Amino acid sequence: MLSVSESAASDRASLLASLAAAVGERQIVSGDNLGRYNNDWTGDHRGLALAVVRARGIEDVAATIRWCHTHGVPLVPQGGHTGLVAGGTPTASGNEVVLSLELMNKVREIDPVNGVAIVEAGCVLADLKEAVDKAGAYFPLSIGSQGSCQIGGAISTNAGGINVVRYGMTRALVMGLEVVLPDGQVYRDLRGLHKNNTGYDLKQMFIGAEGTLGVVTAAAVKIVPKPTQVETLFLATSSTPAVIELFRRIRTDSGDLISGFELMGAPSIELVCATEPNIRNPLSAIYPAYAIVELSASGGPAIKPWLDTYLATLMEEGLVLDGVIAQNQAQVAEIWALREGIVESQARFGAYLRTDISTAISAVARFIERGTEAVEALVPGARCLPYGHVGDGNLHFNVIRPMNMTPEEFAPLIHKIEDELFTIVDEFGGSISAEHGIGLAKRHAFEARLEDVPRRLMQTLKQTLDPRNIMNPGRILS
Amino acid sequence: MLSVSESAASDRASLLASLAAAVGERQIVSGDNLGRYNNDWTGDHRGLALAVVRARGIEDVAATIRWCHTHGVPLVPQGGHTGLVAGGTPTASGNEVVLSLELMNKVREIDPVNGVAIVEAGCVLADLKEAVDKAGAYFPLSIGSQGSCQIGGAISTNAGGINVVRYGMTRALVMGLEVVLPDGQVYRDLRGLHKNNTGYDLKQMFIGAEGTLGVVTAAAVKIVPKPTQVETLFLATSSTPAVIELFRRIRTDSGDLISGFELMGAPSIELVCATEPNIRNPLSAIYPAYAIVELSASGGPAIKPWLDTYLATLMEEGLVLDGVIAQNQAQVAEIWALREGIVESQARFGAYLRTDISTAISAVARFIERGTEAVEALVPGARCLPYGHVGDGNLHFNVIRPMNMTPEEFAPLIHKIEDELFTIVDEFGGSISAEHGIGLAKRHAFEARLEDVPRRLMQTLKQTLDPRNIMNPGRILS
């Protein structure tokens, strides 16, 4: 007679054998080799997969899904595991099969005249950007994780990033998809048409669905002319409202040249300059709020001469107190390092609150004021670091521990601060997840504020498309 | 005992009385006053409604839908009845209730800083554009019917038009919707957030669904800075491929300044100049193919000086054979009249074939060549007039009768030509309806080429959301 754990181990072995028979022994990773598939890059989410299937093509994806469907085994589609909400990593249950798309990584076709590239889901974003660049065009999705994240994951999470203000979220860049549905059938439209009003636009269902309605295996994505003029500015202002006013002004006055517009509060700039030895503030004084602005164009009238005059006007008016325009690539890198360094800076203080909220652009400054007051009242001395894509109304309103508190003392307060900030987000009619998605990590907060009608619609969609609930179950909806 | 027709009349009267009780007598139009609600503007589609409900607000919409749900009566949501595929007009059955949104026409809010306007579905597009203009911004949806069409109809058909090349289809402009579902419940998200990745993006289902999944009652739409520099060009080239190459060149070289790019073949220009006394070709000779190009920006570096030099380069290279840049509003109007006049010109020859196809932009020239050959082989002397939004791969490849044929002789051949062209569209992996939708008029051609998996997904969506099949039944899907 087998003990309970021996029985479980035997079940597990027979499941693995059956899976191997279905998709081929060589495609299966199990046991000690699961490490890098179990965890996301933050280390916040550590799971344990039953096995990983590394699909070589759509047939392997379909075979895996059919096998999961037959055996009632949950499937977790996985891209570059760079997500921030535990949407693409297994739970610790040991019962989920991870489907890795990493071997399906070809750029199949690039047509710069049509403005479309056809790419497999496992292609690393940076590789796609490079291939498109070599073809003389530009793929305008730029996110911190682009060296690791895969295009299938970007599509499944409707990724954002710094170019959204100009080119939209990933959804706006998807012109067609190939998706294996929860029953193993394939929906495919990779024709790359810019306009097509024939029936329901089915691809929309799978974009941002975090792998809960099917597995994206390939996509037709929009590519655009390559920017040949790029101007990067670091501008200081008197306040957050002044940064928002600056956004309004530059957006109106520049003629859609803005391709990036990031807010950095003084605390963020001070922190990053204090903690990162290689990062310095290019301005000699400290100001209340800063903007990193990128203007770009693929040609057309010269930006630089106009910009020099325009910036002088903004300074005469007093809207910009001080500022620099990068004169070379080193200075461009220096400016962006201020933004990118913040991630590492924050982590130096131990556990901290990371949020990804959005409000109307016109409400961002008021939100920061209200949020900062609320955090100060809750945890005096906690340092608020609101920064991010204010050109889209999207803030990473992060909070690190007070100087007089240890990381251990601060850790239990993080969720309380998050709750408080999310309540203010609700008051502002904002979103608690602007670009990161829901996954497992934000599901509780999401479902707590999900109204009846959208809840019913989402549940209906899920149940109709995935009646056995095998596709990334528990992510987004419980 | 009642005769059959008396019995039907009595049923009808009792249905009308019940409807009036549900939504209020004053909101009902019936009998002789139905005229303008029964027909679309082309006159191609003439129907007969049971009654029209003119909703004053969302409560009337919900009451009407609930009544239709209870009584199993089909509902046809109607905007400005400017559609081209019989999607918003009743059939001749006399059994359908038309729901007019024309009284729900307010622009509720305009926030230029956030870049969002909140508008009711019945607002005429031109009225919305004007209100946004007064607020100092621009709503970038520009279509021929904008003086009559309503924003709810534009959303429900995912309307296109001349600005798509810059700003995308209507879908790209919708940031939130208020929709009454087929069971009378309301889905609402009018927060106007630029970024929000919390669960499935439900609004996408209703955009372009032609009123078959619910009735759009209000929307949050994207508004952008108002163009302050607009340059309009009429350029002559040696061939259609040269026009496509010109698009590629200007798109790359101008830095996303293109806000319109229309192809006009020589036959279209000759026809419109020959038939419309007030329209003239601003160029002195006839060339094989033309482009109307609009470049615009809301500010930024001056376009005109750059453009003068750039156009000279294109002419030196021989890509542009001749051309004009409009110097004033009268000349702008003169250039666009060439494009807009074509609709009336064609109609002067009696029944003609009107299509709305798309292919990859890189395939447009080959499509025109193949299509023209095929039409010539089928009906010698028939005149092909391919023109349209080639910056999006979208052609109105229209065909008028040969000079030696009467309209009556030509009429029965129209469907044969359409079939032939649609077969070529299929070979090119194109779309038979790029921007007009399916409605009743294109349903047969659409369903004939709908593959099993998308058919099943579309039917599932429809049946799940509208199990009684009351929402615009028979449109898109039979």
**Structure confidence by residue, pLDDT tens digits, B10-34:** 888 999 999 999 999 999 998 888 8
Residue contact B360–A191, C-beta within 8 A:
yes
Q: In which domain, by residue range, is B73 found?
A: 8-100
Residues B15, B60: Cα–Cα separation, whole Å: 17
pLDDT, tens only, A231-259:
999 999 999 999 999 999 999 999 889 99
CB B437 within 8 A of CB B87: yes
User: What residues form DSSP beta bridges with A397?
Assistant: A386
Mutate one of A158, A194, A456 to test the B interface: name it (highest B CB count within 10 A).
Answer: A194
Name residues 385-404 of chain A within 8 A of B (Cβ).
Answer: 389, 392-394
The two structure tokens encoding residue A136? 């003389």
pLDDT for B66: 97
A359 CA: distance to closest CA in chain B (Å): 6
Mutation site, A198, A222, A394, interface B, largest B CB count within 10 A: A198
Do the domain assignments include residue B31?
Answer: yes
Angstrom distance (rounded) from CA A141 to CA A162 = 8
pLDDT digits (tens, 9 = 90+) for A433-449: 999 999 999 999 999 99
Convert B222-250 to b/e letters by CB count within 10 Å (16 or more is b): bbbbbbebebbbbbbbebbebbbebbbbb
Rounded to an integer, what is the distance from CA A80 to the centroid of its chain?
12
Q: Using CB atoms and an 8 Å cut-off, which of residues 312-351 of chain B contact chain A?
A: none
Burial A237-264 (b: 16+ CB within 10 A, else e): bebbebbbebbbbbbbbbbbbbbbbbbb
Is B240 found in the same domain as B190?
A: no
Any domain includes B451? no
Structure tokens at B3: 């005769």
Cα(B390)–Cα(B411) distance, integer angstroms? 28
- Residue that terminates a domain, selected from B318, B344, B370: B344
Residue A47 has pLDDT above 60, yes or no: yes
Test mutation, B180, B188, B200, B251, chain A, max A CBs within 10 A: B200
How deeply is A273 buried, as exposed, middle or buried, from its count of CB atoms within 10 A (0-12, 13-18, 19+)? middle
Q: Is residue B456 part of a domain?
A: no
pLDDT tens per residue, range A124-169: 999 999 999 999 999 999 999 999 999 999 999 999 999 999 999 9
| Rounded Cα gap, residues B62 and B215, in angstroms | 9
Question: Could B457 and A202 be called an inter-chain contact, meaning their C-beta atoms sit closer than 8 Å?
Answer: yes
Question: Is residue A133 within 8 Å of residue A224, measured between CB atoms?
Answer: no
Residue A41 has pLDDT above 80, yes or no: no
CA distance linking residue A338 with residue A332, whole number of Å: 10
Domain co-membership, A232 together with A305: yes
Q: How many structural domains comprise chain A? A: 4
Tell me which of B156, B177, B196 to substitute to probe the interface with A (most A C-beta atoms closer than 10 Å).
B196
What pLDDT score was predicted for residue B141?
Answer: 98
Please tell me whether residues B357 and B433 are part of one structural domain: yes
Q: How far, rounded to the nearest angstrom, does the alpha carbon of residue B423 sit from its chain's CA centroid?
A: 23
What does the pLDDT read at residue A256? 87
Distances (CA, A) of A126 to A107, A143, A149, A289: 12, 10, 8, 31
Residue B368 lies in a domain: yes
The band of A225, judged by pLDDT with boundaries at 50, 70 and 90, is: very high
Residues B16 and B93 in one domain: yes
Say yes or no to pLDDT of A8 above 80.
no
SS3 B140: coil
Q: Looking at this protein, which amino acid is placed at residue B448?
A: A
- Tell whether B246 is covered by a domain: yes
The residues in A 41-80 lying below 8 A from B, measured between CB atoms, are none
For A261-299, the DSSP string reads: EEEEEHHHHHHHHHH-TT---SSSS--SEEEEEEEEESS
Residues A115 and A210 in one domain: yes
End-of-domain residue from the set A68, A100, A132: A100
Give yes or no for A309 touching B (CB within 8 A): no
Q: Identify whether residues A121 and A196 lie together within a single domain.
A: yes
Nearest CA in chain A to B157: A197
For chain B, what is the mean pLDDT? 95
User: How far lies A28's CA from each of A75, A151, A380, in Å?
Assistant: 14, 22, 51
B275 and B383 in a common domain: no
Considering the domain boundaries, does residue B475 fall inside one? Answer: no
Residues in chain A: 478
Q: What is the CATH number of the domain that holds B272?
A: 3.30.70.2190
Average pLDDT over residues A96-110: 98
pLDDT in tens, chain B (478 residues): 555 567 777 888 999 999 999 999 999 998 888 888 998 877 778 899 999 999 999 999 999 999 999 999 999 999 998 898 989 999 999 999 999 999 999 999 999 999 999 999 999 999 999 999 999 999 999 999 999 999 999 999 999 999 999 999 999 999 999 999 999 999 999 999 999 999 999 999 999 999 999 999 999 999 999 999 999 999 999 999 999 999 999 999 998 899 999 999 999 999 999 999 999 999 999 999 999 999 999 999 999 999 999 999 999 999 999 999 999 999 999 999 999 999 899 999 999 999 999 999 999 999 999 999 999 999 999 999 999 999 999 999 999 999 999 999 999 999 999 999 999 999 999 999 999 999 999 999 999 999 999 999 999 999 999 999 999 999 999 9
Between CA B276 and CA B285 the distance in angstroms is 18
Name the burial class of residue A7, with classes exposed (0-12), middle (13-18) and buried (19+) by CB atoms within 10 angstroms of its CB.
exposed
Of all residues in chain A, the one with the smallest CA distance to B180 is: A453
d(CA B407, CA A264): 68
As a whole number of angstroms, the distance between CA B63 and CA B86 comes to: 25
Among chain A residues, the shortest Cα distance to B190 is held by: A429
B218, B232: one domain: no
Contacts across the A-B interface (CB distance below 8 Å): 289
Contacts of A115 (CB under 8 A, 6+ apart): A137, A194, A222, A223, A224, B361
Among B53, B71, B100, which residue terminates a domain? B100
Q: Is A197 within 8 Å of B202 (Cβ atoms)?
A: no
Distance of CA B469 to the CA centre of its chain: 25
A392: CATH: 3.30.70.2740
Is B391 contained in some domain?
Answer: yes
A265: closest CA among A233, A289, A247, A283? A289
Q: Give the mean pLDDT of A162-187.
A: 97
**Residue A331: its pLDDT value, please?**
97
Judge whether A441 lies within some domain.
no
Give CA–CA dist A137/A132, Å, rounded: 5
Task: Assess B116–A contact: CB distance below 8 Å, yes or no.
Answer: yes
Give me B144's structure tokens.
């021929």
One domain for residues A209 and A116: yes
Residue A350 · residue A277 · CB < 8 Å: no
User: Which of A200, A254, A434 comes nearest B209 by C-beta?
Assistant: A200
CB atoms within 10 A of CB B351: 16
Which of A194, A432, A454 lies at the smallest CB-CB distance from B202? A454
Same domain, residue pair A274 and A217: no
Contacts of B460 in chain A (CB under 8 A): 464-465
Closest CA to A169 of A190, A179, A155: A155
For chain A, say whether B241 makes contact (Cβ under 8 Å): no
Cα separation, A299 vs B256, whole angstroms = 8
CATH at B49: 3.30.43.10
Cβ separation of B197 and A438 shorter than 8 Å?
A: yes
* Claim to verify: residue B241 and residue B279 sit in the same structural domain: yes
Specify the CATH number for the domain of residue A133: 3.30.465.10
Q: Are residues A194 and A252 in the same domain?
A: no
A189: Cα within 13 Å, side-chain hemisphere? 23
Higher-confidence residue: A5 or B26?
A: B26
